Structure 1
Amino acid sequence: MHLSPKPTNNADTFSDEENGNQLFPVFIKLNKLRTLLIGAGNIGLEKLTAIVNNSKHAKITIVAEIISPEVYALVANHPLINIKQKSFDVSDLNDIDIVFAATNNVILNEEIRAVTHERGLLINVADKPDLCDFYLGSIVQKGDLKIAISTNGKSPTIAKRLKQILNEGIPAELDETLQNMSALRQTLNGDFSSKVKKLNKVTQSLINPKKSFAEQNIKWLIWIAAVLLIGAIGFSLWNTEPAFQTFLINIDPLFYWFLGAGFAFALIDGAIGMSYGVTTASFSLAMGLPPASASMAIHISEVLSNGIAGWMHYRMGNVNWKLFKILILPAIIGAVLGAYILSSLEHYSSYVKPVVAVYTLFLGGVILMKAFNIKRKKASDKIKKIGLLGFFGGFIDAAFGGGWGSIVLSSLIAGGRHPLFSLGTVKISRFFIATLSSLTFFTMLGGKHWEAVVGLIIGSALAAPIAARVSNKISAKSIMVAVGIIVIAVSLRSVIVFILKLI
């Protein structure tokens, strides 16, 4: 807020441009003041919305000859707002502390400013920075944390753009940290200096947090688990499966199809955090693989690709370890159970295949809808039953060949979790889920369709480091639309083929 300058002579007069930004940032308790808003058209609605969004209990009087229906609709939910449908006169300034002029009449706005200053009141005049005593900045809010942005009236567009960047960059979980710090502050004893020292000691962990064993050694845990799993499977197959030896010596052309598919689908998955399972499952069924073998191929290939992607996200600081600890154990249990059930039904693959196709058809529709309607709830509404979500996501992912990202990641983001941290956590969790479900599939099924397995492993591993780096540089909406259409088309084809066979 700034007061209008009242120069005594020209020598003492300096413009804002000569002195830089002269605004003094303050936060006003509008719920303690009496506010007058003059004008109730589109401009008035914009001002009114800004006020009530930041101060729901503000006491506001609206004066205007014409009241828009949108203003009436907004006022209906705020009983402290009073409407006077009339022309403005000086008596409207009685018992008022602060004024907003939002009419589209330039002369009237200037007259309102003049009489307001005679009363010693502060005024904001819409779209007229030179007439304003204070500006309304772009606001970023995460619970009790509120950040105001001002460009000194030079460019509201830049202020709005910065607001978008900060809204995405500041996690909603920061409000939880703020509440914890407030509770801690209430427990501290001693003088102000001692309290500051104690709070500084606590907040030091935000800058240099103490890492758990898993955080310190996640790189080696990922690589050891991936190498041991793939090495053990490869060694076992080489000694017990002549077909696998034949595959390595005489590569089936199908290998190259799955190599390309693994690369493309892993690249898409890294960009939007979902759809590798559902796209690969749809492709595998279309290529003739039974559902259990398709899911085995998908999950074995995900061991290395998700290990690499998870490591990349860890290096970039995109993992929420608290969320990871809650999510991982139920997810592993669900994945192992889903893999066991699907493997047990391998002999009935001709009947299971259309069921999986219907499921992937449904997920294709879900992906397509999310592409056009991505909404995030407020932090207060964020999802609570994360363990149950992890179990359900792990089970569906293993039993139907995919869905972990579509179910878990989309639910976390829709529930108010930060997209980038959710993506990193889901990717690193997927590594451990893929490892355990792969072992279950291999134990139950043995070596089958290795042209698909090896192709997906190599293709997805090649794409993983690229995908992690471009995850926030590609239009997620465009990719999701394309993926949704492709999955629906391929799944629909499988369903139609099954129906035609029945006929």
Structure 2
Amino acid sequence: MRTLILFALVGLGAQLVDGSLGMGYGVTSTTLLLAVGASPAAASATAHLAEIGTNLASGVSHWRFGNVDWKVVWKVGVPGAVGAAAGATFLSSLDTSVAAPLMNSILLALGLYVLIRFTVRGLNRQNLGKPMRKRFLAPLGLFAGFIDATGGGGWGPVGTPAILASGRMEPRKVIGSIDTSEFLVSASASVAFLLALGSQGIELVWVLGLLAGGLVAAPIAAWLVRHVPPRLLGSGVGGIIVFTNTRSLFNAFEVADAVRWPVYAVVVIAWIGAVVYSWKQYRADTENESVEAAAKLEQERRDALVAQLSEQDESVGAGRPQAPRD
């Protein structure tokens, strides 16, 4: 029961992050599974089996809140399913001694990407509203699906920032569409893992725990996506992923304490600095948006007043008697 509760809490937190950021469930849950001793293939398979249910619940929740663009879901999700099947087959064929450091390295890279992406960069809104091209979404889905299956996560960290960077969709619709399309990716990867591994190394309690927590969090996350600052949440989660997988790699390669502890200190200090910086930038951005909104409202009021005065002048002028002509 204790294990079930632990994994339910992890699933709850992972889905809150994933549903709010459009990334993080697979990376977070797989990192934990590796930490408790699961093999890389079993960890990825367990996370993807749980994600089938959580992605379905998350997709329905995002759809109800109007956060889904179905054209994008199909254009990126179907190639993603193909890539996920290929990635699951590839990972299942690797020896554990090779697969574990490989997966930790992929997760570390994804964690760094999430940390830097949400700490440093803002959103490009210049192309907002322009259609997403299939020639962009199809290769993106294929690559993200492959990384997702081999790394135990990656669909969101690869797909969400790439679409956000295009500036063609509202952030909430990017997150909702990526979360919804991930159902296809998770289902495809799960089938491929089961065909390759059977049920070897997959603990039903782990799957049920992650699934239970994720199902509770899915509707909450779909609502929070409108309110939680993604920049701050991304910095926090990215730091956790970086620290955990750095530790796992050091353990795998038996790095000496004289090296690992200074590195841990640097990672933690950088992580805290990133969270503080993200919070300050979020506050600054919020204040700037408030000032811009107030200035826009004031200008609209002035324009309305000028238009009203002009109408009054025209009415007065029309009512005056015309002077007689000579």
Q: Structure 2 length normalisation: TM-score?
A: 0.72
| AA matched with 2:122 | I
Is 1:424 the counterpart of 2:176? The answer is: yes
Asked whether the 8 Å contact 2:10–2:210 carries over to 1, the reply is yes
- Residue 344 of structure 1 is matched in structure 2 by 93
- Residue 467 of structure 1 is matched in structure 2 by 221
1:286-365 equivalences in 2 (<5 Å): 286-345=35-94, 348-365=95-112
How large is the RMSD of aligned CA atoms in angstroms? 2.1
**Deviation of residue 263 (structure 1)?**
0.9
- Residue 269 of structure 2 is matched in structure 1 by none
Question: 374, 380, 390: which one pairs with 2:141?
Answer: 390
Q: Deviations over 1:381-414 (max 9, x none)?
A: 9775110000001111011100101101110010
Asked whether the 8 Å contact 1:299–1:435 carries over to 2, the reply is yes
316 and 377 in structure 1: CA distance in 2 versus 1, 3 angstrom threshold: closer
- Residue 126 of structure 2 is matched in structure 1 by 378
CA distance in structure 2 between the aligned counterparts of 1:406 and 1:501, rounded to whole angstroms: 28
CA distance in structure 2 between the aligned counterparts of 1:446 and 1:381, rounded to whole angstroms: 41
Q: Structure 1 length normalisation: TM-score?
A: 0.48
CA distance in structure 2 between the aligned counterparts of 1:358 and 1:275, rounded to whole angstroms: 16
**Higher relative contact order, structure no. (Cα contacts within 8 Å, ≥ 6 residues apart):** 2
Structure 2: 5+ residue runs without aligned partners?
A: 258-326
**Deviation of residue 300 (structure 1)?**
0.8
**Between structures 1 and 2, the one with greater strand share:** 1
CA distance in structure 2 between the aligned counterparts of 1:382 and 1:425, rounded to whole angstroms: 12
1:72-471 equivalences in 2 (<5 Å): 251=1, 253-345=2-94, 348-372=95-119, 373-376=121-124, 378-379=126-127, 384-418=135-169, 419-447=171-199, 448-471=202-225
CA distance in structure 1 between the aligned counterparts of 2:59 and 2:131, rounded to whole angstroms: 27
Task: State the identity %.
Answer: 33
Asked whether the 8 Å contact 2:141–2:159 carries over to 1, the reply is yes
Q: Secondary structure at the match of 1:385?
A: helix
Query: Which consecutive segments of 4 or more residues in structure 1 shift more than 4 A?
Result: 380-384
**Deviation of residue 256 (structure 1)?**
2.6
**Deviation of residue 470 (structure 1)?**
1.1
Asked whether the 8 Å contact 1:341–1:399 carries over to 2, the reply is yes
Q: Deviations over 1:52-94 (max 9, x none)?
A: xxxxxxxxxxxxxxxxxxxxxxxxxxxxxxxxxxxxxxxxxxx
| AA matched with 1:290 | S
Asked whether the 8 Å contact 2:80–2:184 carries over to 1, the reply is no
CA distance in structure 2 between the aligned counterparts of 1:254 and 1:429, rounded to whole angstroms: 30
Asked whether the 8 Å contact 2:68–2:177 carries over to 1, the reply is yes
Q: Deviations over 1:240-296 (max 9, x none)?
A: xxxxxxxxxxx5x43332121111111111111111111112111111111111111
- Residue 83 of structure 1 is matched in structure 2 by none
Structure 1: 5+ residue runs without aligned partners?
A: 1-250
CA distance in structure 2 between the aligned counterparts of 1:273 and 1:294, rounded to whole angstroms: 21
CA distance in structure 1 between the aligned counterparts of 2:42 and 2:52, rounded to whole angstroms: 16
Larger of the two Rg values belongs to structure: 1
381 and 327 in structure 1: CA distance in 2 versus 1, 3 angstrom threshold: closer
| AA matched with 1:306 | N
**Deviation of residue 502 (structure 1)?**
11
Q: Deviations over 1:323-356 (max 9, x none)?
A: 22321221111011111111222xx112211111
**Deviation of residue 375 (structure 1)?**
3.1
CA distance in structure 1 between the aligned counterparts of 2:178 and 2:131, rounded to whole angstroms: 20
CA distance in structure 2 between the aligned counterparts of 1:325 and 1:430, rounded to whole angstroms: 10
| AA matched with 1:349 | T
**Deviation of residue 364 (structure 1)?**
1.0
Tell me how many residue pairs correspond in the alignment. 250
